[in-house]
A and B are shown apart, each in its own frame.
Chain A
Amino acid sequence: MGHIDNIMPLSKVKATLSEVVRTVSKTGAPVVITVDGQPVVKLVPATPPLRQLSSAEVAAYRALTHALVRVPRKKGSFDAVRLVGEGRR
């Protein structure tokens, strides 16, 4: 498989469309298609590929989750199933 750029002219996309689609689908990275040098269309996967989080992403998730603990909460117990159910009415 050749190299697929994140920004490609339409002429190059037309010549390598199958490869572009495979790469976008596999990596999840979008490709911006240009016409006359201007970006006009972005090709993205219909559903982003499921992937493991990087160590940096895990660290960021952990830090934010820990930060939640320090945020004051409304008093009183509640049932989230009921709360969400009421929100769907």
Chain B
Amino acid sequence: MYISSISPLEVHHEQALQLMRSIPEDQPFVVPSLFRLEVVSALARRGESKELRDTVKVLVHGPRFHAVPLSDALLENAQEIAEVAALRAYDAVYVALARETKAHLLTFDREVRTRVSRHFPEISLGELDTG
């Protein structure tokens, strides 16, 4: 979602931008600490410039992103979620965090959305056009 929102050429950019802007700017996004690594890694794999990556690194290490460490408890919850919903390990960490913090899970990944809504209906996914 975040990569989409900062990338004008990404297929979900406009929708991601609208969604990010709909959240009050003084409210932090809750993310696993893994998030920072995944964002920077994805931008590097995409071949984006160092200037862009450096700016994004400052942003994702700032207070708008409340990074939660990958504790044993979080990983145990993620393991349970991965087993129940047959989710990938990385996805299960994000889902576990959303469940623990009762936060909305923001993702355009249709498979994740489908499996979460089927197995963990208590987790809010928000209304998105993922087509």
The reply to whether B30 and A47 contact each other, CB–CB distance below 8 Å, is: no
The B27-84 residues at the A interface (CB cut-off 8 A) are 27-28, 30, 38, 41-42, 45-49, 51-52, 55-56, 58-59, 62-64, 66, 68-69, 71
Q: Report the interface size for chain B: residues with CB under 8 A from the other chain.
A: 42
State whether A53 and B64 are in contact (beta carbons under 8 Å apart), knowing that A73-B9, A87-B45 are contacts in the complex. yes
State whether A80 and B52 are in contact (beta carbons under 8 Å apart), knowing that A64-B58, A64-B59 are contacts in the complex. no
Q: Which residues of B contact A76 (CB under 8 A)?
A: 9
Q: How far does the Cβ of B41 sit from chain A's closest Cβ, in whole Å? A: 5
Q: Which residues of B contact A47 (CB under 8 A)?
A: 68-69, 71
Partner of B38, one of A57, A77, A84: A84
Q: How far does the Cβ of B37 sit from chain A's closest Cβ, in whole Å? A: 9
The A34-89 residues at the B interface (CB cut-off 8 A) are 46-48, 50-55, 57-58, 60-62, 64-65, 67-68, 71-81, 83-88
Q: Which residues of A contact B55 (CB under 8 A)?
A: 64, 67-68, 71
Residues in chain A within 8 A of chain B (CB atoms) = 46-48, 50-55, 57-58, 60-62, 64-65, 67-68, 71-81, 83-88
Residues in chain B within 8 A of chain A (CB atoms) = 1, 3-4, 6-12, 25-28, 30, 38, 41-42, 45-49, 51-52, 55-56, 58-59, 62-64, 66, 68-69, 71, 88, 90, 101, 107-109
